[in-house]
Amino acid sequence: MPNTLNRAPVPALLERLFDAAARDPDLWPADRPFVTAPPQERADTLDQVYMPISARGGDLLYTLVRAIRPATVVEFGTSYGVSTIYLAAGVTDNGRGHVFSTELSGTKVAAARANLAEAGLDRAVTILRGDALQTLAAVPGPVDFLLLDGWKDLCLPVLRLLEPRLAPGALVVADDTTMTSMATYLAYVRDPANGYATVDFPVEDGMELSCRTW
């Protein structure tokens, strides 16, 4: 079976992106509370910061996409396209599916598109620039796979926006679940009344894997 992650130029590209991310600068002003800043301000201030998924987390995403063979994948938070590469490799190797991703920063949209083109995966992805609560409103359903890796305080609003279009059995993956700002999201998906079977997966910074049961 094909595995794009093992074929040039993808391994070298991912290595370069992870190396760059390891040198992410701390650009947020110390006197400006992050949680009260508007999302666009956060995106513009941090447009040189990669903030990627971990390599093991990326491998998990690829494996999950190969396993469930989603027709429609939605990603909240493109950044420089590292996680998008893993998702796009999965749907490409499946021979079916498309990734819809969304990003506020114009700098990051351009960089992610260039990285996907270098990987040869750009045809599998549509990157929507702008506020996810607006751009994702038009994404067609049913959504079979959802990755939440944008601003943590917006993960639950984005999930709630897309819930009516989640297919029964859809898989929802949330990254960075060890962050305190994910507490409200985790409380929601871990409450059986909200229609998810969910498990905490121990990769770097934590992931929550939630299956839509309704």
Task: Label the pairing between strands 166-175 and 207-212.
Answer: antiparallel
Which region, left, alpha or beta, applies to residue 122 given φ > 0 means left and ψ of -120 to 50 means alpha?
alpha
Please report the sign of the dihedral spanned by the C-alpha atoms of residue 112, residue 117, residue 119, residue 125.
positive
CB-count burial class (<10 Å; 0-12, 13-18, 19+) for 99: buried
82-94 and 55-68 helices cross at what angle (nearest 10)? Answer: 30
The strand order across the sheet containing 143-148 reads 125-129, 98-103, 72-76, 143-148, 166-175, 207-212, 196-201
pLDDT 10s digits, 141-187: 999 999 999 999 999 999 999 999 999 999 999 999 999 999 999 99
According to DSSP, the residues that pair with 198 across neighbouring strands are: 210
Is 70 exceeded by the pLDDT of residue 196? yes
Percent of the chain's residues with pLDDT above 90: 83
Q: Tokens at residue 149, please? A: 């890796």
Q: What is the pLDDT of residues 201-211, one digit of tens each?
A: 999 889 999 99
Residue 15, pLDDT > 80, answer: yes
Tell me: the pLDDT tens digits for 47-88?
888 889 999 999 999 999 999 999 999 999 999 999 999 999
Task: Using pLDDT thresholds of 50, 70 and 90, give the confidence band for residue 38.
Answer: confident
Query: How many other CB atoms are there within 10 angstroms of residue 67's CB atom?
Result: 11
What does residue 104 show for φ and ψ, rounded to 5 degrees? Answer: -80, -35
Counting other chains too, the contacts that 107-111 makes at CB distance below 8 Å and 24 or more residues apart are 107/47, 107/48, 108/43, 108/47, 108/78, 108/79, 108/80, 109/78, 111/80, 111/81
Contact, 44 vs 75, CB < 8 A? no
Q: Band the pLDDT of 40: cuts 50, 70, 90.
A: confident
Average pLDDT, the chain: 95
pTM recorded for the entire structure: 0.94
